[in-house]
């Protein structure tokens, strides 16, 4: 049970770490451990156009080969400004160079060559002007859209290549219970099946495993700092309202600092012609909202997240539990489903009823969402921030602040406390333990998570000589 490298988690960070290792070295013995299922066995009936959730454990949307990325919209953000904090560790130029390197790999395995928003058009400049008028910062970020179904195809191809190398063993349905650390040196991991030892351990658990990783940090005195808590809603409107943005940007990243509290609110994960979806954490006990879009199958609606970022100070140290508490309030009102409310009802301080919901021009794409009142779920401060943000966005894309725009709650990004790492992504506290991806609080999307994995693999190869 002895390996050169043990990788915990088979999301984008873990996959690209393994792929870079086999590209560079053919003499390494590598083990990947994943709590979810093989990519060929990940089936979610609810995710495809309003099916029924069967509460599989663990959730097939958030776990398994390629992690939550396999069921995401599949957007590759090609700017260093979007999707993580790697620039803080390796600088802007190196981050951008590595994004290009990883993007070339995605192209090699079959990603669409089209990039939206690469060249600034006259229409994009007009949107930027309106954004300035509305006190919004528009972040220019070219996007390569893979699409949910094509994303799964690409990660299947990576799986086949990794397995074909003969260097990598992948064990599915094998959650890691704890790290093996002796004298502040990582030695391996413990599962119910066995203890696996490795010269190097890479913790790339994704958001699904962030709570576990935080508990391991506490158990082994691995230094962390409190990360940002992102809580908000998923907005859904007709495609016609967002057409200018969709056609010119695909996804326009906008940031607003609210007049009332000076809180940061940002748009995230826009899905033109997409579908609102629910995903489950804690073995199906906690439902939160998300969104995605296919390359071919399209709806009449666009959805995107609005997230309020809260940066807490000591003694607060539980960002994940804080987010779960708010999401649980919504679940309490809906019997573990997602709550939906019309923007007009939110502004008027009244709950949305089925009658008002279904007289809209817009038809909800999440079929089992429950009409209700987000004012009973979200803290007043967060709700005020969201209302201000939607009114600001309405200046840029008129019609967004109409009565019938839908808000689904709650959307929570379970970023762990940020693990303190060196520029090589080895943890400051434990030798030979590397932290990667969203679960470590270092990245926030497919591209930078993938880059993070590559960088760790290169460091390990250098150390192995």
156 vs 162: CA distance, rounded Å = 10
pLDDT of residue 283: 78
CATH of domain 2-111+146-225+418-464: 3.50.50.60
328 vs 332: CA distance, rounded Å = 6
Q: Which single residue is written with the structure tokens 């999440």?
A: 366
Q: What residues pair up with 189 in beta bridges, in sequence order?
A: 179, 196
Where are the domains positioned within the chain? 2-111+146-225+418-464, 122-143+228-413
Smallest CA-to-CA distance from 18 within 439, 434, 441 is with 434
DSSP β-ladder status, 2-8 and 195-203 = parallel
pLDDT of residue 450: 98
Contact 427, 393 (CB under 8 A): no
Q: What residues pair up with 427 in beta bridges, in sequence order?
A: 421
The rounded mean pLDDT for the chain is 93
Other CB atoms within 10 A of residue 239 CB: 16
pLDDT of residue 284: 80
- Tens of pLDDT along 370-402? 999 999 999 999 999 999 999 999 999 999 999
pLDDT of residue 45: 67
pLDDT of residue 41: 85
Confidence of residue 70 (pLDDT cuts 50, 70, 90): confident
DSSP β-ladder status, 253-257 and 136-139 = antiparallel
- Tens of pLDDT along 104-162? 999 999 999 999 988 889 999 999 999 999 999 999 899 999 988 889 999 999 999 99
Pairwise pLDDT comparison (47 vs 131), residue with the higher score: 131
Contact 310, 263 (CB under 8 A): yes
49 vs 84: CA distance, rounded Å = 30
pLDDT of residue 89: 97
pLDDT of residue 58: 86
Alpha-helix residue ranges (DSSP H) falling in 86-207: 87-90, 92-108, 122-133, 148-164
pLDDT of residue 385: 98
pLDDT of residue 417: 76
Q: Exposed/middle/buried for 71, CB within 10 Å: 0-12, 13-18, 19+?
A: buried
Tokens of 396: 């840029």
Q: What is the mean pLDDT of residues 78-83?
A: 93
pLDDT of residue 226: 82
Confidence of residue 47 (pLDDT cuts 50, 70, 90): low
């Amino acid at each position: 049970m002895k390996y050169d490298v043990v990788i915990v988690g088979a999301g984008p960070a873990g996959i690209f770490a393994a792929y870079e290792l086999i590209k560079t070295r053919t003499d390494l013995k590598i083990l990947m451990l994943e709590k979810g299922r093989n990519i060929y066995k990940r089936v979610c009936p609810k995710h495809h156009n309003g099916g029924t959730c069967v509460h599989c454990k663990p959730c097939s949307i958030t776990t398994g080969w390629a992690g939550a990325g396999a069921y995401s919209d599949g957007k590759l953000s090609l700017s260093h400004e979007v999707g993580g904090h790697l620039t803080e560790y390796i600088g802007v130029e190196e981050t951008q160079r590595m994004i290009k390197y990883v993007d070339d790999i995605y192209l090699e395995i079959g990603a669409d060559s089209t990039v939206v928003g690469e060249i600034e058009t006259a229409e994009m400049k007009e949107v930027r002007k309106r954004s300035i008028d509305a006190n919004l910062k528009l972040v220019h970020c070219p996007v390569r859209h893979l699409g949910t179904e094509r994303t799964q195809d690409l990660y299947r191809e990576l799986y086949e290549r990794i397995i074909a190398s003969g260097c990598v063993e992948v064990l599915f349905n094998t959650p890691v219970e704890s790290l093996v650390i002796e004298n502040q040196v990582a030695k391996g991991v413990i599962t119910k099946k066995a203890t696996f030892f490795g010269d190097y351990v890479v913790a790339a658990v994704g958001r699904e495993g962030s709570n576990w990783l935080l508990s391991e940090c506490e158990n082994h005195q691995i230094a962390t700092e409190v990360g940002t808590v992102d809580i908000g809603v998923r907005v859904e409107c007709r495609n016609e309202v967002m057409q200018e943005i969709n056609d010119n940007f695909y996804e326009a990243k906008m940031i607003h600092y609210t007049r009332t509290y000076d809180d940061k609110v940002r748009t995230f994960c826009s899905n033109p012609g997409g579908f609102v979806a629910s995903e489950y954490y804690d073995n199906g006990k906690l439902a939160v909202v998300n969104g995605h879009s296919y390359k071919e199958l399209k709806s009449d609606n666009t959805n995107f997240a609005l997230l309020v970022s809260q940066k807490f100070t000591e003694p607060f140290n539980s960002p994940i539990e804080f987010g779960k508490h708010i999401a649980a309030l919504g679940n309490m009102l809906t019997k573990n489903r997602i709550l939906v409310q019309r923007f007009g009802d939110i502004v008027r301080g009244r709950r949305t009823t089925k009658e008002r919901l279904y007289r809209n021009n817009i038809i909800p794409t999440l079929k089992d969402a429950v009409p209700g009142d987000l004012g009973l779920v979200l803290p007043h401060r967060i709700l005020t921030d969201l209302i201000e943000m939607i009114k600001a966005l309405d200046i840029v894309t008129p019609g967004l602040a109409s009565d019938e725009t839908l808000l689904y709650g709650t959307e929570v990004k379970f970023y762990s406390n940020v693990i303190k790492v060196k520029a090589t992504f080895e943890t400051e506290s434990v030798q030979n333990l590397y932290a990667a991806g969203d679960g470590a609080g270092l990245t926030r999307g497919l591209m930078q998570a993938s880059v993070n994995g590559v960088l760790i693999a290169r460091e390990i190869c250098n150390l192995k000589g």
